């Protein structure tokens, strides 16, 4: 009788869902996760759904058209500045559940948010969806912190499985995708498979991430979907309204926008740019981070390499991209689907990159794929600087804008929510 009531309740509300989104990151922040969630909130509300954001109360700026539930949080030394861990006690879950009722809860980071979402889902008897934004197996640049981070990640996964009373059991199968990973990388992929098995459905923006998690699951069925991260509607409007401010000086400007950390391989970009030695060229490095001083020393003899520091705000980012000619992405076996890809394409800036696993939004008509070494990246810079080829790629940037539209992303999420709710109440 209780189950039937739940089915009827959700059937009546299926077109106007109450969705809770949970994350550990500061909101808003410059991180790709925060920016993608901002787009999700805006687009889901456009479709008529009610969104509640559960996020750290530190520096929290409430998004328009969404209910906000601030939660106390803490941070560990070594984490990115935008990353915190929200408290995920049962007391917090009960307090939220007493004040709010949701049809579905969607965790978007892998620590406190994952656990709190699981406990709220258990308390309210609603389905729990999780999105894998980050390739944890590719983020290991320091051995000791990596080891403890992986253990903490596994603890959260196992606790989530215990809350949902689902465990990863399946026949071990050969996983060629994982053969190239070291033991700690394989450990992390298996951890993500535990999470994917524990929740009611999972999503990720990239095909390779989905394939790797499924390989680590040893043949266990994992409900969910691949949903690319789209560009933001407001970002698109700024792009259409923003004019190029640069003089037509004959220079070609390369740009990269990211946190200045080892995994982004900014040193390889700098060395490749210096090696390419393209006349009348310049390189803009936008962002800040732990590697800023080392990178500045590496570029100290190159006056045509400009460090802007952190740049906040969509308008400022749009202007930087509008004044650039080529976006350079040198990360390798790290990124999932960087949000700078759809953002660059919507401004009409082609992309030079070196990770063949990144295929969402990228094709031969709008980007150039090279090998990950410095010499290959330098040769790629020289090739893409050729005026005719560069213009060909510029013309091709519009080819994927429908696929990466914010409307397409939100519609895919709404459909998955509806499907997951129906399946949940059939159990």
Q: Which of 35, 72, 33, 66 is nearest to 52 (CA)?
A: 66
The CATH-assigned architecture of domain 233-400 is 3-Layer(aba) Sandwich (3.40)
Q: Tokens for 395, please give them.
A: 């013309």
User: What phi, psi does 15 have (nearest 5°)?
Assistant: -90, -15
d(CA 63, CA 309): 26
Sign of torsion over alpha carbons 212, 215, 220, 226: positive
pLDDT confidence of residue 169 = 63
Residue with tokens 């993500």: 192
User: pTM to 2 decimals?
Assistant: 0.88
CATH number corresponding to 2-230+405-424: 3.40.50.2000
Q: Tokens for 363, please give them.
A: 């094709």
Cα 46 versus chain centre, distance: 22
d(CA 25, CA 310): 17
d(CA 419, CA 356): 32
- The DSSP call for residue 287 is -
List, for residues 156-208, the tens digit of each pLDDT value.
Answer: 999 999 999 987 665 555 566 777 777 788 888 889 999 999 999 999 999 99
SS3 string, 53-82, reads EEEECCCCCCCCCCEEEEECEECCCCCCCC
pLDDT confidence of residue 3 = 41
pLDDT confidence of residue 2 = 37
pLDDT confidence of residue 135 = 81
List, for residues 254-281, the tens digit of each pLDDT value.
Answer: 999 998 988 899 999 999 999 999 999 9
Identical fold between 2-230+405-424 and 233-400: yes
CB atoms under 10 Å from CB of 296, counted, come to 14
* Contact criterion met (CB below 8 Å) for 11 and 44: no
pLDDT confidence of residue 5 = 38
Domain ranges of the chain: 2-230+405-424, 233-400
Residue ranges of the chain whose pLDDT lies below 70: 1-15, 30, 77-82, 137-146, 168-176
pLDDT confidence of residue 207 = 92
CB atoms under 10 Å from CB of 246, counted, come to 11
């Amino acid at each position: 009788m209780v189950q039937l009531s739940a089915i009827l309740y959700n059937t009546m509300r299926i077109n106007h869902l109450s969705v809770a989104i949970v994350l550990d990151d500061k909101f808003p922040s410059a991180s790709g996760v925060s920016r993608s969630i901002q787009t999700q909130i805006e687009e889901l509300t456009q479709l008529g759904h009610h969104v509640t954001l559960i996020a750290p109360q530190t520096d929290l700026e409430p998004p328009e058209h969404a209910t906000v539930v601030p939660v106390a949080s803490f941070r560990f030394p070594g984490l990115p500045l935008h990353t915190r861990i929200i408290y995920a006690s049962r007391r917090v879950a009960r307090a939220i559940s007493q004040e709010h009722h949701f049809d579905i809860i969607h965790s978007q980071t892998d620590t406190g948010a994952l656990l709190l979402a699981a406990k709220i889902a258990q308390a309210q008897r609603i389905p729990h969806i999780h999105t894998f934004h980050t390739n944890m197996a590719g983020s290991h640049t320091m051995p000791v912190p990596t080891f403890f981070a992986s253990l903490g990640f596994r603890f959260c996964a196992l606790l989530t499985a215990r809350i949902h009373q689902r465990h990863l059991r399946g026949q071990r199968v050969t996983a060629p995708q994982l053969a190239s990973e070291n033991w700690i990388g394989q450990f992390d992929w298996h951890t993500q498979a535990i999470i994917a098995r524990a929740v009611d459905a999972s999503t990720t923006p990239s095909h390779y991430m989905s394939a790797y998690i499924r390989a680590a699951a040893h043949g266990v069925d994992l409900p969910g979907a691949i949903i690319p991260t789209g560009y933001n509607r407001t970002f698109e409007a700024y792009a259409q309204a923003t004019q190029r401010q640069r003089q037509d000086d004959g220079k070609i400007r390369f740009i990269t926008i990211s946190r200045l950390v080892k995994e982004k391989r900014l040193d390889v970009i700098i060395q490749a740019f210096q090696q390419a030695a393209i006349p009348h060229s310049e390189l803009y490095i936008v962002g800040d981070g732990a590697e800023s001083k080392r990178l500045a020393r590496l570029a100290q003899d190159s006056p045509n390499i400009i460090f802007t520091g952190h740049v906040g705000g969509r308008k400022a980012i749009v202007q930087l991209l509008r004044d650039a000619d080529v976006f350079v992405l040198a990360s390798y076996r790290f990124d999932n689907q960087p949000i700078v890809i759809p953002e660059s394409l919507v401004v009409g800036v082609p992309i030079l990159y070196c990770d063949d696993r990144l295929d969402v939004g990228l094709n031969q008509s709008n980007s150039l794929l090279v090998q990950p070494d410095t010499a290959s990246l330098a040769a790629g810079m020289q090739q893409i600087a050729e005026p005719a080829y560069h213009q060909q790629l510029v013309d091709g940037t519009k080819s994927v804008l429908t696929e990466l539209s914010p409307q397409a992303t939100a519609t895919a999420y709404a459909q998955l929510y509806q499907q997951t709710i129906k399946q949940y109440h059939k159990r």
